[in-house]
Amino acid sequence: METQELINKRRIFGIISHPDAGKTTLTEKLLLHGGAIREAGTVRARKNSKYAKSDWMEIEKQRGISVTSSVMQFEYKDKVISIMDTPGHNDFGEDTYRILTSVDSAVMVIDAAKGIEAQTKKLFQVCSMRGIPIFTFINKLDRQAMDPLDSMQELEDVLGMPSVAVTWPIGCGKEFEGVYDRLENEVHLFRKEQIVKLDKDGVHSNILEGLLSATNLDNLRNEMDLLDGAGNFFDLEKIKAGKLSPVFFGSALADFGVTEFLEHFLKMSPAPGKRKTISGEVEPTDETFTGFIFKIQANMNPNHRDRLAFLRICSGTFERGMNVTLSRTGKQIKLSQSTHLMANERETVDIAYAGDVIGIYDSGNFQIGDTLTAGKEKIFFEPLPTFPPELFCRVSAVNSLKGKNFQKGVHQLAQEGAIQVYTNEYNEVILGAVGVLQFEVFEYRLVNEYNTDIRMDHIDFTVARWVKTTDTDELKKYQNSRCMLVFDHYERPVLLFTNQYALKSFQERYEDVKLVDALDVTEEV
């Protein structure tokens, strides 16, 4: 098969939602349709217990949430689809954000009764910031739901994103009778499992009389008139540019509306496209193999102490055993151990293409954001953004004899990007996170993997700003109870402030000091 064809077949999307909106159930149904799993309950089992095989996932089990994220690949018709699961919880971490830097589109699952919840909003902002197309699946129509017109309005009001309904619900809860597919002009009946093709009169066609309850039909006609008159028009270009969100309604649990969603999604979502590098762009069809690492997960199997780097392939063909160059260090690395990331079943990958995500076993060479290339030219993909932490704590080993283990753990977790690590002028270790769960994971892993009990004290800082200077002696003078100087993992100076007010008064006082919001990981000050 031509490379172009192989690439066009690929779709890679992140699935985001507030907990309990139905992300796991929808993922499971998609995998079932693709034949990747044979029975319902497989993904759920993973969520609940089976997956807790590897120890540090105990936290997931205890908290009932997904701390890590995995990639699930399946084939549907002529497409190869990769779903990137993202942890969706108040306590989410930087990982969640980074996953979204590696996908080409996102699917947002919303509970039809609850509407948009805080967490979904945050993740949505990350997608829209990066121009990633967002598909909305409004779930649980088999239960009592909000008025669908209100749901649409909420999308626009809360997320500020214009949306267009592709399918539309006919009733909800006990009265749920199916969905109307506006693009195909078909009514899909829920309990009767029947598809009714409509004529040019659409929902006003006589065919529907007697097929739907009078109230549902009446509502459907009114709602369609309203949407046709005042709603947004379907515009594929806008959808692909992430400026218009197509909306689908259904019930993941009842597996209704899911196929409709999947079919449309595959037509509307972008295939892997070009990626920016520091000096230009890489096309997926370029022959030279290139890719970047967006996630590193260590000690997935406590017996092996392995580290797995998640690699998004951007161009060329990956062949197991190939030699690549790690751009950051110039080091040649043989990629001999590679794996699919389908749930917890690890299967060796021999060949993979642009638009695939694979796992590479790593003995400590890689960092998040690293570019790998099989070419002679040194290239760097645009650095992944560092998200400014808002929570900080001071951490130390309870037993000073364990200092070496402690340092090793801190260093490795910082390299993995599990948490931000800073040191201050007294060599104290300060951790920074975007979600408190990151602290919990940190503590759990130091105790369990590095055999070190730690003491963690929350400190009252909420804002971090990198400073564009090399004169650190000068910086020390700025410190007071509301401002602390620390150094990040790359030894770049960072000022921590207690709150926005402290930051503002600092800026007013020292106008000449250039503060930067969130520096890219590899950018030098």
Residues making contact with ligand G4P (CB under 6 A): 17, 19-25, 44, 139-140, 142-143, 251-253
Smallest gap from Cβ 295 to ligand G4P, in A, equals 20
- CB 118, min distance to ligand G4P, A: 14
Q: Cite the DSSP H helix spans in 205-257.
A: 214-230, 236-240
The torsion angles phi and psi of 488, rounded to 5 degrees, stand at -85, -175
How near is the Cβ of 257 to ligand G4P at its closest, in Å? 9
CA 22/CA 110 separation, integer angstroms: 8
10 Å Cβ neighbour count for 319?
A: 14
Closest approach of ligand G4P to the CB of residue 490, in Å: 36
Tell me whether residue 138 or residue 352 sits nearer to ligand G4P (CB atom).
138
318: closest CA among 344, 292, 280?
A: 292
Residue showing tokens 């295939």: 271
**How near is the Cβ of 31 to ligand G4P at its closest, in Å?**
13
User: Listing from the earlier edge strand, what are the strands of the sheet with 515-516?
Assistant: 454-459, 391-397, 429-433, 420-424, 483-487, 493-497, 463-467, 515-516
Q: Which is nearer to ligand G4P, 66 or 420 (CB)?
A: 66
Q: Alpha-carbon distance 208 to 346, whole Å? A: 49
279 secondary structure, DSSP code: S
Q: Looking at beta carbons only, is 136 or 251 nearer to ligand G4P?
A: 251
* Cβ closest to ligand G4P, residue 143 vs residue 408: 143
State which residue, 10 or 46, has the beta carbon closest to ligand G4P.
Answer: 46
Q: In the structure encoding, which two tokens stand for residue 341, read together?
A: 């990331």
**Nearer to ligand G4P among residue 19 and residue 115 (C-beta):** 19
Least Cβ distance, residue 388 to ligand G4P (angstroms)? 27
Enumerate residues 6+ apart whose C-beta is below 8 A from 195: 186, 187, 188, 189
Closest CA to 182 of 116, 92, 249: 249
The number of angstroms, rounded, from the C-alpha of 358 to the middle of its chain's C-alpha atoms is: 16
Give the shortest CB-26-to-ligand G4P separation in angstroms. Answer: 7
Closest CB to ligand G4P among residues 30, 502? 30
Cα distance between residue 289 and residue 280, in whole Å: 16
